[in-house]
Amino acid sequence: MRFLHTMLRVGDLQRSVDFYTRVLGMKLLRTTERPEQKYSLAFVGYGTNPDHAELELTYNHGVSSYELGTAYGHIALGVPDVAGACERIRAAGGRITREAGPVQGGSTIIAFVQDPDGYKIELIQRDA
């Protein structure tokens, strides 16, 4: 078995595609329109399956927001420079909810970003 993708329901597909591609630097990999079933999909990521896991953004026609609930945690992205990534994300209009710094009780540098639908994304400092 292998990890293929994670699906997030979004309230505005173009807004979410713009955030993940323009602000986080992912690529729009493919889209699917299902008007009869009343949903649209966009797959984004830093590469395609089978080499990389993807993020499936699902827009259910007519639904502009969701309650995220208390079970959802976050998506984690490895970046070589968390502080630099935060600067670029902020400059592109992204929202930083936790500035770059060591994880509580440890030395790994992390930060948190929030997407337009309220989903949290953890940035974890990793060598390139």
* Among 33, 36, 54, 122, the one annotated catalytic: 122
For residue 34, the SS3 value is strand
Helix (H) or strand (E) holding 9: strand 5-9
Tally the residues of the chain.
128
List alpha helices for the chain, DSSP H. Answer: 13-18, 82-91
Nearest to 8 by CA among 32, 34, 41, 37: 41
Does the annotation mark 122 as catalytic? yes
Do the beta carbons of residue 59 and residue 39 sit within 8 Å? yes
Do the beta carbons of residue 112 and residue 97 sit within 8 Å? yes
List the catalytic residues: 122
